[in-house]
């Protein structure tokens, strides 16, 4: 093949498409490996059995008992793979103390590769940067997932316990003259 500067416009386009495809596949493989490592390590960090944590889609209906495999991730292996952030959901199953049921806590995780790091976004928590070689480096991710799940309950309890709302919020029928 000719020198890059001597390539035809079509050859340049073919090379760009090939490079994009290679980068998109590398992104998918790295993000999937990262997500799987999070899902494998989180139960131990939480101190629960693996059955209490599952990978689920980040949005929409889900079943925490279902093994979604790659379906937990935002990429669709049956379609064109794009060079874009990858998302997945983390579900933690917490048994109810009062009955035999359980509560399913889900949060979304978004991954972007930036240079030599993963930019990790867990719902409303601040950005985390984790090295691409992440083995032994996931505790901050586990802590952030935990912090996000705790924040949801703290906000709900704070609203419930707020004295301003003890009388309830409601609507009164409109009175004449108002």
Q: Tell me the two tokens of residue 21.
A: 């495809």
Mind listing the pLDDT tens digit for each residue in 148-161? 999 877 776 666 66
Q: Report which of 132, 138, 118 is spatially closest to residue 37, judged by C-alpha positions.
A: 138
172 pLDDT higher than 50: no
Share of the chain above pLDDT 90, in %: 69
pTM of the model: 0.81
Return the pLDDT at 101.
Answer: 79
18 pLDDT higher than 80: yes
Print burial letters for 16-43: b (CB count within 10 Å at least 16), e (below 16). Answer: eeeeeeeebeebbebbbebbbebbebbb
Mind listing the pLDDT tens digit for each residue in 93-114? 988 777 777 888 899 999 999 9
Mind listing the pLDDT tens digit for each residue in 71-96? 999 987 677 888 999 999 999 998 87
Q: How many residues does the chain have?
A: 178
**Ranges of each domain in the chain:** 4-162
- Per-residue pLDDT band at 6 (split at 50, 70, 90): confident
5 pLDDT higher than 90: no
Mind listing the pLDDT tens digit for each residue in 29-41? 999 999 999 999 9
């Amino acid at each position: 093949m000719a020198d890059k500067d001597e390539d035809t416009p079509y050859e340049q386009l073919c090379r760009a498409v090939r490079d994009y495809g290679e980068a998109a596949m590398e992104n998918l493989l790295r993000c999937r490996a990262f997500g799987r490592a999070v899902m494998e390590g989180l139960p131990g960090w939480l101190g629960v059995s693996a059955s209490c944590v599952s990978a689920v889609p980040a949005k929409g209906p889900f079943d925490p008992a279902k093994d979604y495999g790659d379906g937990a991730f935002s990429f669709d292996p049956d379609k064109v793979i794009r060079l874009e952030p990858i998302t997945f959901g983390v579900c933690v199953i917490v048994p109810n103390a009062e009955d035999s049921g359980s509560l399913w806590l889900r949060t979304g995780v978004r991954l972007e590769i930036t240079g030599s790091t993963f930019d990790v976004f867990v719902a409303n928590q601040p950005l985390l940067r984790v090295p691409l070689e992440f083995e032994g480096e996931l505790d901050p991710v586990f802590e952030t997932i935990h912090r996000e799940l705790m924040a949801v309950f703290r906000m709900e309890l704070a609203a419930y316990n707020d004295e301003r709302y003890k009388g309830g919020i409601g609507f009164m029928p409109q009175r004449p003259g108002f």
